[in-house]
Structure 1
Amino acid sequence: MRGSLAILLIATSVFAQPQHEVVLDWPQLPEDHVLGLCAGVGVDAQNRVFVFHRSGRSWTNPFPKETISQPTVSVFEGGSGELLSSWGANRFIMPHGLTVDHEGNLWLTDVGLHQVFKCTPEGKVLLTLGEAGVPGNDHTHFNLPTDVAVLRDGSFFVSDGYKNTRVMKFTADGKFEFAWGAKGKGPGEFNLPHGIALDTQGRVIVCDRENERLQVFDARGGFLHEWKGPHIGKPYGVETGANGHLFIIDGGSPSLKLSERGKAVELDATGHVIDTFGSQGDAPGQFQLGHDIAIGPDGAVYVAEGTGKRVQKFVRKK
């Protein structure tokens, strides 16, 4: 791997006053609408917030064979939090990643089915990759794929994820191009590549979750940087804002003190911390296993929680 090892370590006492605050009573969730563990979240250009959730299903080993009978994708209006629609019943086994591409399509990963799906916002399947229920490590199979990042030309990266510890690149029509990564701690190696995103420079940002770091690559998988430290924690999800800043959600690293775990982090394009907000807990503005993060067209930040079984909205303080 080319590039140099750049490690970012920042003291936890630098940013005492968060620049973001939680929006209370968001979303407006009907009493009979169960989210359960919220695995993925994304926002389209119309400010619709899409949440990929497990509708009460728990992570078990082995996974159930039957699909979830209730809707697994809920669509909210970003401003009011009103539930606009829901779909995905009887289609998924273990929902995981959700990405909205530049055309407004949704990319969903199911770690139970070992598949990646491209869908319309209404749920029509446009493209399916992987063989249903069959794990593998060749070019046509995944093994618990976690997330997708899509370029403007429609080509995309898949973090393939829990078992294969690699990143795969595909053309817009789903043809395999190349892959990189193996199990390990070195540059370009992974211990559970979980979230993945592209920044405004075209770099590939990977949440190397169990190695407790972000790895930054060029568009061909060439290693550029490693960012880690107490403010990074254990990154689960990553997204890029319109200003080029990166937002990550720390799922909660056991290597940190309880007061330092489980927060959202805003980084500039060089990996320096701009803001941290939230903490571990179940109160509004706190997180119980933050699992994914997304940025709306108005700059609002959305965090999907696992154990907390909710999605929260944050805005920049005025």
Structure 2
Amino acid sequence: DSWGEDLIADVHGVFISDSDEIFVVARGVHEVLKFNSSGELLLRIGSRGLPSWQKPFNHPTDVAVSDRGDIFVTDGYGNAAVHKFLESGKHVFSWGEPGSGKGEFHTPHGIWVHKGKVYVVDRDNNRVQIFNEEGEYITEWCDFFHPMGIYVDSKENIFVTDQTPRFTVLNLHGKILSRGFSPDFGHGVWGDSSGNLYMSSNEKGVNRFIKI
């Protein structure tokens, strides 16, 4: 089955909650959409077709949801910001600005939230920045080349893809546990309930999924 063709434009990021709610970043129309597993639209965030400077949104890139249901969105192609929303979609606050300093971004491209920490893939600054859920800077990991996607599994392994092309596994302290090369750079990474990992890549405009 498929759905959403009339709503979704230029999909860039997807997040699936534990209750099978599907959050979709519709980059081309500056929106984040929430659906149930049957494709029913439950929530839309943003102003369709109306980009905003450092406000939601200007070509957003990714979305993640905390255990409490708060929604975090990286806004990286037209802005340099992360936005936090309540489960209802109400905007709480945003943080970030263009640059390479702490809390600044150059194409924030991917995001994950785990146990009160927000992991932001700061692609063109070649790093992952870590914040608390109030947007306060904690630390950063810098051993990447244009990192793209991030995923944390049930065993608290952190998976990061970059444009080397390379696939890196880290622990919660940022220690590299393993690293390998892939035939194409991974644009995103996700896991399933069986512990399998999937890396999305883009080759000649065709998306494909590689089972890791």
TM-score, normalised relative to structure 2: 0.94
Higher strand share: 2
Contact 2:54–2:80, Cα closer than 8 Å, also in 1: no
Q: Give the drift of 1:138.
A: 6.4
Rounded Cα–Cα distance in structure 2 between residues aligned with 1:179 and 1:309: 31
Q: Tell me by how many angstroms 1:110 deviates.
A: 1.2
- The residue type paired with residue 111 of structure 1 is R
- Which one of the candidate residues 27, 30, 37 is aligned to 1:111? 27
Give yes or no for the alignment of 1:270 onto 2:173. yes
Match of 1:169 in 2: 84
The reply to whether residue 184 of structure 1 matches residue 80 of structure 2 is no
Query: Partner residue of 2:126?
Result: 212
Runs of 4+ in 1 over 6 A off after TM superposition: none
Deviates more, 1:241-250 or 1:86-95: 86-95
Matched, 1:306 2:192: no
The answer to whether residue 189 in structure 2 is matched with residue 293 in structure 1 is: yes
Instruction: Name the aligned partner's letter for residue 119 of structure 1.
Output: F
Alpha-carbon distance in 2 for matches of 1:291, 1:90? 25
Please say if residues 96 and 104 of structure 2, whose CA atoms lie closer than 8 Å, have aligned partners that are also in contact.
yes
Say whether the 8 Å CA contact 1:102–1:152 is kept in structure 2.
Answer: no
Alignment-mate amino acid for residue 175 of structure 1: K
What percentage of aligned pairs have identical amino acids?
Answer: 34
Which of these residues, 1, 7, 14, is aligned with residue 98 of structure 1?
Answer: 14
How far the C-alpha of 1:208 sits from its partner, in A, is: 0.1
One-letter identity of the residue aligned with 2:165: G
| Structure 1 position 120 matched with structure 2 position 16 | no
User: Does the 8 A contact of 2:148 with 2:186 survive in 1?
Assistant: yes
For residues 63-74 of structure 1, the aligned pairs below 5 Å read none
Q: Does the Cα contact within 8 Å between 2:14 and 2:23 map onto a contact in 1?
A: yes
Residue 141 (structure 2) aligns with: 227
Q: Write out aligned runs for 1:254-265 (5 A).
A: 261-265=164-168
Extract unaligned runs of 5+ from structure 2. none
After TM superposition, the score normalised by the length of structure 1 is 0.63
The Cα of 1:271 is off from its aligned counterpart by 0.6
How do 1:233-244 and structure 2 match up within 5 A?
233-244=145-156
Q: Secondary structure at the match of 1:177?
A: strand
How many angstroms does 1:123 deviate by?
1.6
Q: Which structure has the larger Rg over C-alpha atoms?
A: 1
Cα distance in structure 1, aligned partners of 2:130 and 2:35: 28
Tell me the SS of whatever aligns to 2:159. Answer: strand
CA distance in 2, matches of 1:103, 1:94: 25
Distance (Å, rounded) in 1 between the aligned partners of 2:104 and 2:198: 29
* CA-CA distance at 1:297 after TM superposition: 1.9
Partner amino acid, structure 2, of 1:233 = F
Secondary structure in structure 2 of the residue aligned to 1:221: coil
CA contact (8 A) 2:54 2:97 kept: no
Residue pairs, 1:1-40, within 5 angstroms: none
Give the deviation of 1:131 after TM superposition: 1.4
Count matched residues.
Answer: 210
Question: SS state of the match for residue 29, structure 2?
Answer: coil
Distance 1:278 1:86 in 2: 33
CA distance in structure 2 between the partners assigned to 1:296 and 1:304 by the alignment: 14
